[in-house]
Structure 1
Amino acid sequence: MKANNNLKMFKRSSLALCVIGVLMGASSPVLAAEGPQADDNIEVIEVKGMRSSLQKSLNTKRFANSVVDAITAEDIGKFPDKNVGDALQRISGVTVDRQYGEVSGVTIRGTAPEQSRILLNGQSVANTSWYDLGPATRTFNMELVGAEQISGVEVYKSPEARIEEGALGGTVNLQTRKPLDLDANTYMVSAEVARSSLYEENDPGAAFLGSWKDEDERFGILAAYSFEKLTSGRQVLESLSGYYPYFAANEQTGEEAAVGAWGIGSQAFRAERERTSAQLTLQFMATEDFELTLDYFNFEFDNPHVNHNFLTVSARGSEATNVVNNSLGGTESATIQPAYASIIYNPVVRHAVNMEADVLNLTGKYTGDGYTLSGVVGQSTSKGGTQGGSSSWWIPATDEGDKIGDPAFPNGQGSVDGGFSYDATGPYQVQLTSLDATDASQFKHAQEANYESSLQDHDIAYAQFDVVFELDNDYIDNIASGIKYNTSDFSREAYNRNPSEIIGFVPDGNLANWSGGVLTGLHSQSSGNTLNSYAYLDENKWWDFISQKYQNGELVEVLNKGNTFSVEEEMLALYAQVDFSGDNYRGNLGVRYVTTEQKSTGYADGNVFNETVDYDNWLPSLNIAYNLSDDLILRGAASKVMARNNYSDLKPGLNIATNIGSANGGNPNLQPYESNQADIGVEWYFSPSSLLSAAVFVKEIDNVVNVVESTEYVETCGPSEDLWDECRVTRPQNSGDGSVTGVELQLQHTWDSGVGFLSNYTYVDSEQTNAAGEKEMVPGVSENSFNGSVFYENEYITARVAYNWRTEWQGVGALNTVLNDDYSQWDASITWHILENLNLTLEGVNLTNEVIQSRDTTYDLTQNTIEFGSRYYLGASYQF
């Protein structure tokens, strides 16, 4: 206890010293304030437009001491892709995670998305999520960030001691603009219309950026704001729940066992996404040596949505006939005989769905005679989650009983219209025996099903002080050291509805009285009997009815203690780094020490329970670049890195399912992932805008987390006390290790004619051991990926076509092991330079409307067929 108190006092004293340093004239370190370290050798770039941005990006890579790739905006409001996530997929070693069309996370060099760090001007951003069914991760959601305010992006694939820890794969630093870097009275306005092919609605967007500075260029103000709307979503032919035998073999009829998913769904997810982003930056050069910058950012993302899902539920049928199984025992096709609620139309309406993040930074920099003091104090807050909503069940109108659990049918309920047949060898094919899915009058309300709401809060605060001593030495350029104190408080509150399932309260319970029409043209990329049309619920009419039920007190939300938790962390980091150079070489050598105190709070047996854990990490790093010639660089790196675990994995306590004798929870005692890694590569810059490079990298990973099931004694876990010692408990444990070996190849070139191309290929052999000691793929990682772009630019137009391809990868968060098939995507854009400062742009994303196809690996059956649709943007921008 005394040691912990001393640690806290040391941390608080360190924080005070950092604050004092800022008030005396400190600023953020080089990464936060200026991006890559300045280098007098960087070539002067005179060309404009896309060629200029590519040359700037290459210069960032070329003259960096570590392994870095960069993306540079052509000009204000001219980021090379529609959003930051789309742009990141163009970098070698990077693949992206798409859940609902737009990029939400990135995978770097064979590691999971949550093991990459996303920084804004070198600092962490608080993060929450709107998706209520997913884990609480540390990944900053890329859906929050519009591209208009971003001036450039750096991807650090090898660490430096000065850069904040926490990345196993790599660190992405998003850079924004400053007023003193721009011409006085610089303004940009833009407007656009967006359209998704799935829902064909025209949605507006607009952006503004204005920058002013005084005549002496000592004080400047920059303000920016953007908003963007898009009606989009996804359409999915999906399996629900894991795969298991839902009907045993019938010896009398000779039918084999029916093995597959609980049910099959025809899903149409429709969201009215709205994103806003605001920035205010004040910059003041108090003297030639003393600079202060105050930044404020606000990001908001609203995602009200409705998820229509027409379910054919094999496991609720009375029996299976015509069963055809494959060699693995999985049912490829079958006919399901009707039973009560073996067909369910399940619309889920969620109107309060959002996430928001704020960032406030005060940075400063003082340059003395042979030294530089820098520092930052700041905070970031985020709120998010999904609140309220409705999940209703509508079943065939001819099913016996007006509701599930109808007391008039104590011996069970039957159905005559709940039969269907299905095929699971490709995108799910379903044929209904008698029901007409497009006729709303053939459905009735059965129950309002339970669901979970969640509220998430994340607050971080940080203070940092750095000093750099410049040396007049033949070998050492400078010595830098610093200290950073960082706190992170994450909490999640979960709510269930009480009573959990509502039945029999709907007047005029036939769907015809609540229908908004018929959904048509679903699953356009999948042919056959795909249930591509069915009657749907009028979500606005229904939500007015459900809202009144809440107001009347008939529906009440109560805290779900099993999924409610918080994780509070205090982190103190110290580092020292030496930058060195000679006639043909340069680099840096450093070490970062970080200590973490983590307090996890949850519920056990209905009571508050918390556990505190301390751990520390020594993280050495070495980066070196050797000039084989003026244009040829040999580069090497070696380091040790760490990544902290997902917040949801750290929660204490258990969520107990009493009736079935199982429980699940987190593990506050998890140790962070650790990795020893090395890189070696060669880069040939055969013209100012051309590169041919190759690199090999390896990672050896410890403390891999797997979900492990064990039998334990847990009170109330089981329908009777004599079964409490047989509770099946699943929780994460550090039970494995992993390894990554990869190769990156890059080639890009631009001709004087304005034609150019960019291309890269990445091979990754990434695997980890599971709880049974078996080797398996790392979720989210593809073995092969390729990116290519061809462009043409002159004074009148800029045009580009881009292609992205990746091989199969394991699904993230699936109930059973799922593999997604190879995926490719075409994007294109063309900009007409009408006047010197006036541009008209047409952009298309996923032009061919590619789908993500996945399959279960145990039985080799279809899992999901996900269609995001194409997105189109028509916009105009003017700069003055």
Structure 2
Amino acid sequence: MSNSLFKKGMLASSIALILSGSLSAAAIAQDAQLAQEEMEVIEVKGIRSSLKENLNAKRFSSNVSDVITSEDIGKFPDKNVAETLSRITGVAVSREFGEGEKISIRGAGPKYNRTLLNGQTVGTADWFILDEANRSFNYTMLPSVIVKGLEVNKSPVASIDEGSIGGTIVLKTRRPLDMDANSVSLSLEGQYSETSGETDPQLAGMYSWKNDDETLGVMVSAVKQERNLERQGFEVLGWVESDDDEYLVPRNIGAPKFIQSRERETLFATLQYAPNDNLLMTLNYLDSRMDVDNQNSNLINFAFGDRAEIITNATKVKNGAILASSAGGNYAYNYINRVSSTETDQVHLDIDYQGDGYSLNFELGKTAASGGTYRETSWEYVAVGSGYDYDLTGTPNVNVGVNAADGNNFAAGWIWGGAKPTTDEETFAQADLTYDVEFGPFTAIKTGIKYRQAERTQGRHAYSWHAPFADGGANSDNYLDHIFDTCPTLATCDLDANGATSIDAAVTGNITEQVSHNRELMEEIAFNGLNGISASYAIHDNLAEIWEVEEDILALYVQGNFSGEGFRGNVGMRYVSTEQTSYGYEFSGDSWGLNTINGDWLTPSVLNWVSQDNDYAEFLPSFNIAFDLTEEQILRIGAARVMARQNWADISSSETFGSLTGGRGTGSRGNPNLAPTISNQFDLSWEWYYNEASMLSVAYFAKDLSSLRSTVTVTEDRYDQENEVFVPVDFAQPGNGLGGTIQGIELGLQHDFGGFGVSANYTYTDASADEQRDTNQVGSGLVEGTSKNMLNLMAYYENDAYQARIMYNYRSDWYKGLHFNGDELFNDAFGQWDASASYNVNEYVTLTLEAVNLTDEEIVEYNTNEERIMSIYSNGRRYVAGIRVNF
């Protein structure tokens, strides 16, 4: 709404005076009229001022929530909103590639929370080929500079969209009619990343205009960011059991280097038109694109038949896991090249009409996202019979039986590849009516209807360079043979032309000295040709991984807002009907699950596109009340029934599995008949605002969950193309399991000493599943995304010229779900220090300096027990220096 329609500052002050019994309703109306005619907008600046604004918004909210203002977002050392959210009590963020991507709230994992932009969905299509299609928003697509403020709603309100167990995040963007005419903001930053050694530019600009009558306004914001990302690490891509013994043997031990060039461009524009004091029309447009081509090189073992030897030579064993041993077998280079991108857009029309004693709101729009890996090649060169020894206790130590920095020691192996494009679309329309009433304590009745039509798709291609030549074309039988006849080792064809490289990560041994990845030459050979022979490869639909899910969602709600002497709140009911249809291929096994689309090499005798329906409806009541115990103390109580739909991949008809080397594989598959997760929850909080920039709070939350996602194992044979045999694959399949509970305590303290201050919050969460824990059944008895302990600390100092703060963000270990190979995956405890400082040259120009991950913390993942390491990744430190200009 424009300033002529609504004054938030006046409303907050009026509420405070009403609650203290110091102001009559008539006086409020008179003051509000004077405010519209005379009051100037007071701009909030500085760390202390923004913290005051945050507390003010939290204090006068009707439900349990937290708020961060635009000033706070601008001053955090955060390049996207997820990292900003990590400062809030009860919120945790994942940083797999060193930048915040997905969030958990109050023990509920990323798929159990929703993020809304100005109250509406933003489509998300993940770029990484190993990511599953989930309902969490990928915050790398949304730079924090375009956001005015955000709210984390921890206790539900009937008028806010359903779909969250932990909480609903509402991001709010700037609006031109709320800003000064001809406002300009520009920033130029340079970001240095330690691991890549590169300095990348980041540009942002915003311009806002409105006419003298404040009836028409336009705001445009644009962001361009580049980042040369490099992640080095250590991986174990599976712990393998066997019916023949009682041991767990690590498979595919490697030291990878991941390199990515990120180019992100975001455009956000808002057009507002207010022809009179009663009507306001707002049109928002978001377009965000990110090119994320990447490559991964890994010196990795493929344990062909060496299980018995590893067991015989084992030197360290714990809980059945062989943590140190030696064996023969093959070590190979696995070089992966990916062409990847992701983009999202949203068009959103918002119409507000203020009548006499009532208000109407109409919203409609569409969001669409597309992305994924559009081309992937994976090259393998093998040191046959090289052997290796390893010790995974402490800092991992791995030694390969050859000099891994000499390409002559690695002979031709295999080439494979594919593509995995995804889309995410939603069309939405809603209408809301708010009617002012005087009925007992009730002051307003809200009601509304909303319709959403969503569609999520995934494609999957497999490339085969060993398909027969269509017209001869070479002395070799196929193009794969031609490549390896011409380039029999890494030392030929200039495949080692980039020289040697060292892996700088938490691993020792000669595995760290490797042959550098020659991406450009490998792409040229794979897709263009070699020695006058044009590239020839078959493109197949990988039928089991191609799917589509459609949802039609109808929601209706009614909500009553009430207030009285020393209390206020709301009570409501939301009804939601969901109709799901999952599509996938039904096919015969005579073509190994492949269908060649650029030839007739492989075609299944049976191929049908089939569907499965799954419909359900829920009534979701909610209640929130806030009592003013004193002028400074508030007691809040909330109770609600909430629901979260299962991940797209979980309700799809897809399946995927990892490497089939060693004669057995593991994987995962979907289940279109999954029910949503339901939670009955209770919130209780006490807040003491003992001065204008200080607060002490304690909150208790409890969630009684039903139908948590469980996992069953189904074993079926799948074809191993490289070895041309069928092998058994153990598929982990989700099911409608038992429920569970999540409960916890949040403690928060914010204290301002005048010029400097501190902020600290701690969250304890206890999550348990009703299903019994069975270590022989993956995923059983576990709740995803829950860290038992989370801690945030901040200290700041500021005067008229300088501002500085240092921050620490910590969470204890948590269960992340199933690895792409079907193993349980846990993240070890992670803590990160960040800092920022700024200097105001004058009222228009500010110099900034930021540091991210000051202590160079590593991300550590493991399988069930900490000694069964899965990965150790180092993203390194990042430093950002910049200049901001505002006028």
Match of 2:570 in 1: 588
1:412-811 to 2 correspondences below 5 Å: 415=385, 418-433=386-401, 435-448=402-415, 450-473=416-439, 475-499=441-465, 503-506=480-483, 507-512=486-491, 513-518=494-499, 520-524=501-505, 526=506, 528-529=508-509, 531-549=511-529, 552=534, 554-605=536-587, 606-652=607-653, 665-710=669-714, 730-752=732-754, 754-770=755-771, 776-811=781-816
**CA spacing shift, 1:42–1:343, aligned 2, 3 Å:** farther
Tell me: CA distance 1:519–1:180, structure 2 relative to 1, closer, same or farther (3 Å). farther
Return the letter of the residue paired with 2:274: M
Is 2:335 the counterpart of 1:347? Answer: yes
Alpha carbons 1:717, 1:727 under 8 Å: kept = no
| Superposition deviation, residue 560 in structure 1 | 1.2
In 1, the alpha carbon distance for the partners of 2:432 and 2:229 equals 45
Distance 1:555 1:37, change over 3 A: farther
Contact 2:465/2:480 (8 A) holds in 1: no
Q: Please list every run of 5 or more consecutive structure 1 residues that lacks an aligned counterpart in the other structure.
A: 1-25, 250-256, 400-414
How many Å separate the matches in 1 of 2:466 and 2:208? 54
Write the deviation string for residues 118-151 of structure 1: whole angstroms up to 9, x where unpaired: 1101101111111112211011111101111111
Q: What's 1:404 paired with?
A: none
Whether the 8 Å contact between 2:400 and 2:510 is mirrored in structure 1 is: no
Once residues 45 and 673 of structure 1 are traced to their aligned partners in structure 2, the CA distance between those partners, rounded to angstroms, is: 45
Question: Which amino acid letter does the alignment assign opposite residue 437 of structure 1?
Answer: A
For residues 417-439 of structure 1, the C-alpha deviation after alignment (integer angstroms, 9 at most, x for no partner) is x1221101133211233x11222
Change (3 A) 1:570 1:140: same
- Mapped to 1, the partners of 2:806 and 2:864 lie a distance apart of 35
2:764 alignment partner, SS class: strand
Q: How far has the Cα of 1:771 moved from its partner?
A: 7.7
CA contact (8 A) 1:42 1:59 kept: no
Contact residue 635 and residue 686 of structure 2 kept, 8 A: yes
- Please, which of 281, 297, 310 is the counterpart of residue 292 of structure 1? 281
Instruction: Choose the corresponding residue for 1:358, options 335, 345, 350.
Output: 345
Please give the secondary structure, in 2, of the residue aligned with 1:531: helix
What is the alpha-carbon root mean square deviation over aligned residues?
3.1
Question: How far off is 1:334 after superposition?
Answer: 1.0
| Conserved? CA contact 2:404–2:510, under 8 Å | no
Partner AA of 2:344 in structure 1: A
Letter in 2 for 1:557: I
- Partner letter of residue 336 of structure 1? A
SS of residue paired to 1:91:
coil
Among residues 44, 48, 52, which one is paired with 2:49 in the alignment?
52
Query: SS of the counterpart of 2:574?
Result: strand
Matched, 1:140 2:106: no
Moved more, 763-772 or 360-369: 763-772
Task: Report the counterpart of residue 317 of structure 2 in structure 1.
Answer: 326
Confirm or deny that 1:283 pairs with 2:272: yes
Distance in 2 (alpha carbons) for counterparts of 1:37 and 1:553 = 69
CA distance in 1, matches of 2:863, 2:774: 21
1:373 paired to 2:370: no
Indicate yes or no: 2:842 matched with 1:839: no
Taking the aligned partners of 2:786 and 2:864, their CA distance within structure 1 comes to: 16
- 2:709 is paired with a residue of what secondary structure? strand
C-alpha deviation, 1:46, in angstroms = 7.3
Residues in 2 aligned to 1:515 and 1:801: alpha-carbon distance in whole angstroms: 44
Query: What's the CA shift for 1:656?
Result: 10
Alignment check: 8 A CA contact 2:417 2:464 kept? no
Amino acid at match of 2:392: A
- Over 3 Å counting, the alpha-carbon distance change for 1:717 and 1:281 in structure 2 is same
String of CA shifts for 1:177-197, please: whole Å, max 9, x gaps.
000011000001111111211
Q: Which residue of 2 aligns with 1:121?
A: 118
CA distance in 1, matches of 2:511, 2:719: 40
The residue identity in structure 2 corresponding to 1:323 is: A
Check conservation: 2:398, 2:507, Cα contact below 8 A. no
Cα distance in 2 between the residues matched to 1:622 and 1:878 = 45
Distance 1:718 1:523 in 2: 34
Unpaired runs of 5+ residues, structure 2, are 18-40, 468-478, 588-606
Contact 1:225 1:277 in 2 (8 A): yes
Equivalent-residue separation in structure 2 for 1:802 and 1:601 (angstroms): 47
Amino acid at match of 2:98: G
Aligned partners of 2:393, 2:10: CA distance in 1, in Å? 51
Conserved in 2, the CA contact under 8 Å of 1:149 and 1:177? yes
Give, in angstroms, the shift of residue 728 of structure 1.
Answer: 6.5
| 2:14 partner letter | D
Label 1:477 to 1:45 Cα distance change in 2 as closer, same or farther (>3 A): farther
Work out the percentage of aligned pairs sharing the same amino acid. Answer: 34
Shift of 1:515: 2.0
| Inter-CA distance 709–635: structure 2 relative to 1 (3 Å threshold) | same
Q: TM-score, normalised by structure 1?
A: 0.87
Do the aligned partners of 1:76 and 1:149 also contact (CA within 8 Å) in 2? no
Q: Is the 1:466–1:482 Cα contact (8 Å) retained in structure 2? A: yes
- Cα offsets for 1:297-336 (capped at 9, x unmatched): 0011211111011113345548336312424222121121
State the Cα distance separating 1:573 from its structure 2 match. Answer: 0.5
The 1:695–1:393 alpha-carbon spacing in structure 2 relative to 1, beyond 3 Å, is same
Q: Distance in 2 between matches of 1:368 and 1:54?
A: 35
Q: Identify the residue that residue 102 of structure 1 maps to in structure 2.
A: 99
Give, in whole Å, the separation in 1 of the partners of 2:166 and 2:510: 39
Residue 812 of structure 1 deviates from its aligned partner by 3.1
Assess, with a 3 A threshold, how the Cα gap between structure 1 residues 709 and 419 changes in structure 2: closer, same or farther. Answer: closer
Looking at structure 2, the residues matched to 879 and 166 of structure 1 have their Cα atoms a distance apart, in angstroms, of: 39
1:228–1:590 Cα change, 3 Å? same
The number of aligned residues is 811
Structure 1 163/47 Cα, relative in aligned 2: closer, same or farther at 3 Å? closer
Once the two structures are overlaid, the 10-residue window that deviates more, 507-516 or 161-170, is: 507-516
Alignment of 1:166-181 (within 5 A): 166-181=163-178
CA deviation digits over 1:716-746, x for unaligned, max 9?
9999xxxx9x996643210121110100000
Alignment-derived partner of residue 291 in structure 2: 302
- 1:160 Cα deviation after fit: 0.2
Distance verdict in 2 for CA 1:155–1:424, change over 3 Å:
same
Amino acid at match of 2:692: P
- The question of whether the paired residues in 2 share the 8 Å contact of 1:698 and 1:740 is answered with yes
Deviations 1:740-795 (A, max 9, x none): 0100000011122x101111000000122458779734222110010001111111
